[in-house]
Amino acid sequence: MAASLQDIQRRIASTKKTRQITSAMQMVSTAKLSQIQRHGGSYTTYANALHDVVAHLANAHINNVSGTLLEQRDVKKVGFLVISSDRGLVGGYNSTLLKGMMAVIEERQLTPDQVVILAVGGNASDFFKKRGFNVAYEYRGVSDVPTFNEVREIVKTVTTMYDNEVFDELSVAYQHFVSRIQNDLRLEKMLPVTTDDMEPTEEGGLKADYEMDPSPEQILGVVLPQYAESLVYGAILDAKTAEHAASANAMSSATDNAKEVINTLELQFNRARQSAITTEITEITGGMAALD
C-alpha cells in the first residue's frame, strides 16, 4: 500500500508540473494573440487602400492591360499556397486545414502531377511530401508576428514561379481567424488576380474615369506585385492569428484536463491513505485483543 501511495504522489507531482507548463504556454499564446491582433488592425487600413487603387485601375483600364498578373491562361497545373504551423500543440488547427485541402484536391479531381504545393509551415510541407505531392517551395520559421519583409521573399518566389509557368493558377489556403474559439478553413484564388467583382472598399471613393501618367500598364506593373504581397501577407497574418488562438485554446484545455486528473489522483490518494490507516488501526486493535 505504501508503494501505491508513493506512486500516486509521483503522478500528482508530475501532473502538477505539466499543468504549470501548459498554463504558462496558454499565457504566452494569449499574449501573442493580443499582439498580432493589434498589428493586424493597422495593416487592414493599408490593405484596403491598396485594394482600392487596384480596383480603380482595373475598372478603368482592364481591357488595355496585358502581360501582368491579371493575364488569364489555360490551367494545366494548379498551385496551392498552404499556410500551416511549424509546430504542434495547436489542437486541430493543422489537421483541419490539411484534411480540407485534400478534400478540395479530390473534389477537383486533381492528381499529384497536376498539383504544385507551396508550403508555409513545416506541417504542410511534411504532410504533402509524405503523400507524393510536388512541394516546389517551402518556408519554415515564420515569426509569431510576421513582418512585411518576411513575405516579400515568399511573394517574389511565387510570382517568379507563376511567370515561369510552374503553375497556371494559385490559391492560398489557411485557417481564418473568426474568434478566440473558432477558426474557419479559407481557400482564396490569388493568381491570376481577379478583378471582375472587385469594388472599392471606401465609401464615396474616386471614380474610375481619370487619366494617368505614366501608362496604366506601368502603374499596374508596380501596384500588382504589391497587391499580391498584401494578399499573402494578410493571409499569413490571419493564419498566425488563428494559430495563436488555437494554441491558447489547446493549452487551456490541457490545463483544465490536468486539474481534473490532479483532483482525481488526490481523491484516490486520500482514499488509499484512509484505507491504510484503517488497516493499521485494525491490526493494532487485533494485536491488543490477542494480548488480552
Q: Is the dihedral of CA 125, 132, 185, 180 positive or negative?
A: negative
- Residue 3 predicted with pLDDT over 70: no
- Residue 203 predicted with pLDDT over 50: no
What is the rounded distance in angstroms from the CA atom of residue 269 to the CA atom of residue 273?
6
Helix (H, G, I), strand (E, B) or coil at 164: coil
Would you give the end-to-end CA distance of the chain in angstroms?
A: 29
Mean pLDDT of the chain: 82
Least confident of 132-136, 178-182, 278-282: 278-282
100 contacts 173 by C-beta, under 8 angstroms: yes
C-alpha cell recorded at residue 19: 499543468
3-state SS, 67-110, equals: CCCCCCCCCCCEEEEEECCCCCCCCCHHHHHHHHHHHHHHHCCC
Buried b (16+ CB within 10 A) or exposed e, 47-75: beebbbbbbbbbebbeeebeeebbeeeee
- Residue 129 predicted with pLDDT over 90: yes
User: Torsion-angle region of residue 205: left (phi > 0), alpha (psi -120 to 50) or beta?
Assistant: beta
Mean pLDDT of 249-259: 90
User: What's the pTM?
Assistant: 0.79
Is pLDDT larger for residue 120 or for residue 194?
120
Quote the distance between the C-alpha of residue 274 and its chain's center. Answer: 50
Radius of gyration for the chain, computed over Cα atoms and rounded to the nearest angstrom: 28
User: What pLDDT score does 5 carry?
Assistant: 81
User: What pLDDT score does 232 carry?
Assistant: 85
What is the rounded distance in angstroms from the CA atom of residue 121 to the CA atom of residue 132?
18
User: What pLDDT score does 128 carry?
Assistant: 93
User: What pLDDT score does 101 carry?
Assistant: 92
User: What pLDDT score does 212 carry?
Assistant: 65
103 contacts 84 by C-beta, under 8 angstroms: no
Domains in the chain: ranges and CATH: 27-201+209-250 (3.40.1380.10)
